[in-house]
Chains A and B, each alone.
Chain A
């Protein structure tokens, strides 16, 4: 095993991409992800790869389209406003079934918003990464080590399913340093065969075409149906989640990314006081880890769930869809770049537990902020 090194999340991710055999990086500067681009700019020329700073996020994602069509392992990275600009290109990648890995180191929005950490692009990533019928596979790291470990997985999933994989991080994970064990470089045999790639026919085969255009409705439907069959396989075999102290938990927090870390701290404190609370941490946001949540529900101990997010309440929709009315689902969140503290999450759990089962369930998506403001003596 390699030794531990101290690295920023953004840099660990970039190094992991190189070790996973990333051939080409195209990007554009934006806080708080710029270290990914800077790292690639420094390292790519040394390892014979391609680094190019595009004139815009739009150009960058289309360079990704070209390089992926040409058979390369490709990576682009941005933060929330830049991801919106990339969404057209991501839809084209989906339509042309071109593998790509896209990093979103989220910041607060909407609009130009702020630059502090956020999870408010959850809906965009899991619901509406562009126009048309498609999904992006979304991986949510929670530590610098995971920023690293999920990169190779992202490339492999992208190649295996000819799909687009987003690593949905945030400014906190991107900027923080933690000890990390870097993965061993992938061997050449890890590379997928890509007979569909544009390499030049050499005059010996018919031309390959990378294309999302399909003017005959029946044919386009057939292409979409085929793609969704692949999505079903992904849904069946690629869900990932971590559970923490859920076996006897009457209250289960659902949180991903940086929020899950905060939730764990709160849980440790609550457990010391005898509160039976646990955590489900989705690692894949799409496919949504319904199996892990159902397993906890089927245990029959859990009486309520609490979605904790750095947003006004987005993932809670998926929690509710899975819970499907079986138990109450509540929400605590901070928005705009504010990172919730363990004490705040602890307070939210205590209020729920104290209210008991007779209390009305979710008080609405603004409940988290309202509770926070009430705690601070402000008007909610």
Chain B
């Protein structure tokens, strides 16, 4: 056996023993099929990313600054880059801050996104069109633009947010400085990221909800299951793969997020006191032109995010087994 199995074939195998007795040529064909299907993606990614990835690993073991960059050659320094990062107190503080930040962002994104998708199912058709259109409008906003708008709404001089809060009598927000403390800065970044991620999560979950068979829902309802039970026993099993993917993707994206915090907080306010990992990498590795150290930080980030999402990835893999 070539270690390949076509699922439906196997599923029917019991009912129709025919294929089992066929000549081995058919098996070879089956064996090659998944590889042929994967080949284009593998070739495309390998050809474009293969060398840069090797390069990144190589750089992380080299002294590679602007001087070396211009001459296209670094000098080997063993694990010096890694140990310098791991001995850096800023790294550990940043890591802790980023983990908390990621948890808050992913949690908010997933819960609110799923609630939005469920809302989409419950509303009338016209309201669904309106809400989806709104979501897409939000989604269609380039991140760089969204950042400008966010800044524009929260600016110190005449931000509309301060105006609204003052008008509503929440307090005196005249020229309130939203960028004065790290907490306030990161809270603003969180609103921006969650706002921007909601459409993707909501629409994807909604699309996955479309796969929930009506018959099953109806059958469950006839059996007397309440809405919560229907959700748990019928909807969630169908949603689970998509929810897991979305959660792990969100973890991956939010952990390494760079553009939103960097542009919204603004380069001039970035200090080690408000670094997130993506910014730490950029500032310490690239902005300073210490590419070797930057590469080491990148690889450490990869390992950390892999560790953070391993639970999800393993569950994914297990579910994959169940499904096949």
Q: Say if A and B assemble together.
A: no
State the A residues within 8 Å of B (CB). none
State the B residues within 8 Å of A (CB). none
